[in-house]
Amino acid sequence: MKKRRIFILALVGVLCLSLLAGCASGGQNGTDGGSERLRVALVVNQRFGDNGPMDDLAAGARRAEADFGVAIQLLESSSAANFEDDIRAMAREGYHLIATTFPYMTYATRLIAEEFPDTMFAAIFQFVNMGGTPVPNIWDTEFHGQGAFYLAGYICGKLTQSNRIGLIIGAEEPTPNAEGNAFMRGVREANPDAAVDFSFVGSYEDPARAKEIANAMIANGCDILQTSAAASNAGVVEAALEAGVLVAGEITDFYNAYDGFVGIVGIGFGETLYAGIKDLLNGNFLGGQHSVRDLTNGGYFMDWASYERFANNSPEFQAVLLEGIAEAQEREQRIISEALVIDFDAEVPNWQRISQMF
């Protein structure tokens, strides 16, 4: 650990000298034409360009580029067969911090981190340092969204007129499962007469399949759909638009495509990468540690402005939604203060089980 600390502090010293020289000479982005900047590579396992998690990560990296003068490289790793080669290529090119995404990339991330012990790695939504021997040059993070999705469920419970709500999640994993169970709890507490239909898409990049599921839920009487499926969200929104039912989502804002889009649960992927870059610059990189990002620290957040926008532009739902927002915001503060605990319930979401618990 001492060796890593010395490396980080030396790297910060080089960057600071570069920044000072750049300011003195009128240079931009923290360079003076000769000294090396901190170089960050973001290697992702999904496509950029769908306004989903990968684009949010890219935005966080670009914000660090603007704020701190770091150099950024973005790379799509097209398949699992390429993960090792792509990450290794960034390490060989001398990037000081390499960020990778999601558990699919964990094996490759750990392997390359061991090959390049003086390169730092940010393993976004991964579980490297949980049990066993920690890897001193990897900081890994997981995201717990149950608090935010409880609030989203509360809003949907208030809005539904048919008392049937659809919930569509990308794939079965612990965090999405916990989000689904918390969403159902929120619906139940807001509206004991409501029920939730639930389904996994099986992929975060299959909008066609997501649309099929959404159409089936609409046919079953759902008048509002909540989606948490990354690029697959687009299919749910398309189905809602065609049927004229409400839809709420995560990360991506679809309001310009459909004015029945209620609001957004935000996930701070980009904020997490930004924090990791900032910590590395400050000599405080959390190598060897695992962090949980949630509603209390910017890992998740409720984009209340998006909900208020829908309320202000939708007279039919305005009164009930504004009332629901106020009630949900009060619950949000209780969650943040830990006066209200929303459990991380990683069982497969099941409405019958949740409705009997609360």
Q: Is the pLDDT of residue 2 over 80?
A: no
Last residue of a domain, one of 293, 309, 328: 293
* pTM above threshold 0.95: no
The pLDDT of residue 7: 40
Mean pLDDT (the chain, rounded):
90
Q: Name the domain count of the chain.
A: 2
The string of pLDDT tens digits covering residues 177-197 is 999 999 999 999 999 999 999
Mean pLDDT of 142-159: 97
State the CATH number of the domain containing residue 110.
3.40.50.2300
- Percent of the chain clearing pLDDT 70 (strictly above): 90
On whether both 77 and 179 belong to a single domain, the answer is: no
On whether both 241 and 117 belong to a single domain, the answer is: no
The pLDDT of residue 23: 34
On whether both 25 and 36 belong to a single domain, the answer is: yes
Alpha-carbon gap, residue 97 to 75, rounded angstroms: 13
The string of pLDDT tens digits covering residues 37-89 is 899 999 999 889 877 889 999 999 999 999 999 999 999 998 999 999 999 99
On whether both 67 and 81 belong to a single domain, the answer is: yes
The string of pLDDT tens digits covering residues 222-259 is 999 999 998 899 999 999 999 999 999 998 999 999 99
On whether both 176 and 234 belong to a single domain, the answer is: yes
Strands 261-267 vs 290-293: parallel, antiparallel or unpaired: unpaired
On whether both 17 and 154 belong to a single domain, the answer is: no
On whether both 16 and 90 belong to a single domain, the answer is: yes
* Parent domain of 20: 2-142+269-293
The pLDDT of residue 53: 87
The string of pLDDT tens digits covering residues 79-124 is 999 999 999 999 999 999 999 999 999 999 999 999 999 999 999 9
Question: Which of the 8 DSSP states describes residue 287?
Answer: T
Walk across the sheet containing 120-124 and list its strands. Answer: 71-76, 39-44, 97-101, 120-124, 138-143, 290-293
Q: Is the pLDDT of residue 15 over 50?
A: no
On whether both 125 and 156 belong to a single domain, the answer is: no
On whether both 336 and 225 belong to a single domain, the answer is: yes
The pLDDT of residue 56: 92
Walk across the sheet containing 246-250 and list its strands. Answer: 195-200, 164-169, 224-228, 246-250, 261-267, 300-303
Last residue of a domain, one of 277, 293, 309: 293
On whether both 153 and 188 belong to a single domain, the answer is: yes
Window from 11-15, 57-61, 135-139, 328-332 with minimum mean pLDDT? 11-15
On whether both 274 and 188 belong to a single domain, the answer is: no
Strands 224-228 vs 164-169: parallel, antiparallel or unpaired: parallel
The pLDDT of residue 98: 98
Mean pLDDT of 12-35: 36
On whether both 303 and 228 belong to a single domain, the answer is: yes
